[in-house]
Copies of this chain bind each other. A is one copy, B any other.
């Protein structure tokens, strides 16, 4: 990888490139021109060339991109070349949905544990991983290498659980709780605030309505 600094805007777009290149790989496509990729992704070809130029000589005039190398290189930049052990805390519907996504495993995110407070869930297994009670969380983190804690629990419970997770050395959190976490600066967080996504949709609906009323 070149030592050149890649801009945040490009980084934000990388997962989407990775997804498209993965689909091309699966369907046996070996190379693709920026024009063809542009049509599929609905991004201009010049944007694609500019973005992908960050990663060195993968695009060749008259040949296009080598799908496999580019997919591999972007995966490496995204940190998908190493495995990450994950635990899911909160085994409600959302936690169970995430536990069942086999595509995460394919990308190296290995489900090591699932935790809940509901005694009725104790011992239930999801994809071979059994649901444990939250009072086992601390010991579990000590005895296993946990890279990412996924928080799929109600916002009222999230502060206490986050403290256990962070105090015991987990350095990355994927947060689905409807609240922002108070974290030490060396802990990385990625928030998925679903209600905010729904509000953006609703905003766009109302903007369209306003436009119609004006015309």
Q: List the interface of chain A (C-beta within 8 A of B).
A: 11-12, 14-16, 18-19, 41-42, 77-80, 82, 84, 92-94, 96-98, 100-101, 103-104, 107, 109, 147-148, 171-172, 174, 178, 180, 186, 188, 190, 192-209
The CA of A148 and the CA of B186, in the complex, are separated in Å by 39
CB-CB under 8 A for A208 and B196, given A148-B201, A202-B78, A203-B11 = no
The CA of A201 and the CA of B84, in the complex, are separated in Å by 11
Q: Tell me what chain A mostly uses at the interface: helix, strand, loop, or mixed.
A: helix
The CA of A194 and the CA of B200, in the complex, are separated in Å by 17
Task: Indicate if the CB atoms of B84 and A195 lie closer than 8 Å.
Answer: no
* Residues of B close to A109: CB separation below 8 A: 198, 202
Task: Indicate if the CB atoms of A204 and B188 lie closer than 8 Å.
Answer: yes
Counting every copy of the chain, the complex holds 2
Task: Indicate if the CB atoms of A96 and B98 lie closer than 8 Å.
Answer: no
What are 5 A-B contacts with C-beta separation under 8 Å?
A: A15-B193, A104-B195, A171-B208, A174-B197, A190-B204
Task: Indicate if the CB atoms of B195 and A19 lie closer than 8 Å.
Answer: yes
CB-CB under 8 A for A200 and B96, given A205-B79, A205-B84, A205-B172 = no
Task: Indicate if the CB atoms of B97 and A12 lie closer than 8 Å.
Answer: no
Q: Which of B197, B199, B204 contacts A80 (CB 8 A)?
A: B199
Residue of B nearest to A11 (CB): B203
* Residues of B close to A147: CB separation below 8 A: 205
List the 9 closest pairs (A to B, CB-CB), nearest first. Answer: A79-B206, A93-B97, A15-B196, A190-B201, A94-B97, A15-B199, A79-B202, A93-B96, A188-B204
